[in-house]
Amino acid sequence: MATPYVEETNWVEKEFLESHGIRVVKMQGLSLLGEEMRNAPVETTYNLACEVNTLEAEAIFISCTGFKSITIIEGLEEKLGENMSLTAIQLPYWVLANQSKAMVSSLNINGGNPVQICSRKGR
């Protein structure tokens, strides 16, 4: 989990995710506040996402809708060989797709199959 947040916020988010069955194997934040989050260069987000990648992780979650991340996903997945990088902006759409086969089919995502977003490890 990569965030622009301070450590205290990261721990709260980690506890929330883990209370819903998503195991966070590595997290790191930048301790940014307010405008600093929105003004952080996209390269900073990219580098942070690379830093939290581990062999144990099934996905990289980039938290915070004000943190620049959408434009780095393709390059991040190419570099790390990941096919599951999620941003806070994308996540609501993935959840909806995961909950509805009909929606997945109509959007032609993953060949009409539900999209798994939660870690299967530790369940």
How far apart CA 113 and CA 15 sit, in angstroms, is 29
Tell me the domains of the chain and their CATH numbers.
Answer: 2-88 (3.40.50.1860)
Which pLDDT tens digit goes with each residue over 68-117?
888 888 888 888 876 566 666 666 666 666 666 544 445 444 454 544 44
Higher-scoring residue by pLDDT: 118, 83:
83
Count of Cβ atoms closer than 10 Å to residue 54 Cβ: 9
Flag whether pLDDT at 4 surpasses 90. yes
Flag whether pLDDT at 120 surpasses 80. no
How far apart CA 74 and CA 62 sit, in angstroms, is 13
What's the pLDDT at 10?
94
Share of the chain above pLDDT 70, in %: 66
How far apart CA 45 and CA 67 sit, in angstroms, is 7
